[in-house]
Structure 1
Amino acid sequence: MDVNELVLTVFSGLSPLVMEDVADEGERIVVRARTPLDTAVCPVCGASSGRVHGYHWRTVADVPVGGRRVVVRVRVRRLVCPTRGCRHTFREQVPGVLERYQRRTARLTRQVKAVVKELAGRAGSRLLAMLAVGLSRHTALRTLLRIPLPIGR
């Protein structure tokens, strides 16, 4: 197995992104990636757009590897809607990987929710710290409160 295959295996949850570089910075691993050059859908009118208005960097935390934090820096495009009446600019989203306004990847959020569902507050934040996921007890409680209640009797 060559290095590129190993990187793709370890960071398989980031597969919708185009990975450009993985750097070992001691206590953390930094992954540089970009979104694919596909078109994106305007959230206002639903038209497809590939016209780039600009770029910006998003930095999100991902699932730890080998007891070290993983930081993903993603170059995201800001696109312009081609519809004459709309002309709205919007940032492309990567569903299943990067959710809007979030500082964690979707798979790290799932793991955090699983821990805080069992151990809320201080206990959850202590366990997550041992798993190399820095999270305060207040954030653990906010995450717990965001989990929808089960529908049933």
Structure 2
Amino acid sequence: MVDACIVTVSVGVLAAGSIAFKPALPAIYTKALKALRMGSYKKIAVELAHMPPEIQENTNYYLYNDGNNNTPEEMWQFYRHSDYPKNVLIAHMSGDFAEQLDAMPDSDVYRAFKAALTEAYEDTTIALRSTKIATNWNADPLVAGAYSYTA
């Protein structure tokens, strides 16, 4: 018989009650788990047919839409890393915007990012190639959220 066991899983999994403990966790721990919320954090990688010349390697860029014209508030943070293929952009989104993106099919997320890039770099035709990757930590039952919640 084992006297102790160390369990390392996300707060989201613990708070969801996905793991049963015998004996049950003390009430002070279950109460704390309800207070430690998980948030949303979205990361996508897209390959462009042509990189706008203004986008330099190893530089962070931000595209912001304040939510006017009946559109949600958006904040796209993206960069072109020198260790990745030259036409690949990595974008990070967090908070309410990431949660909205998590609720969308990945194809719509890519379209929204493409639209933001097209508006920002209107002198360059933005075309996404088939190479695209997206995370959705909220949909993963082994994680149940991202460590991005801000109280």
TM category, shorter: under 0.3
TM-score, normalised to structure 1, is: 0.23
* Structure with higher strand content: 1
TM-score, normalised to structure 2, is: 0.23
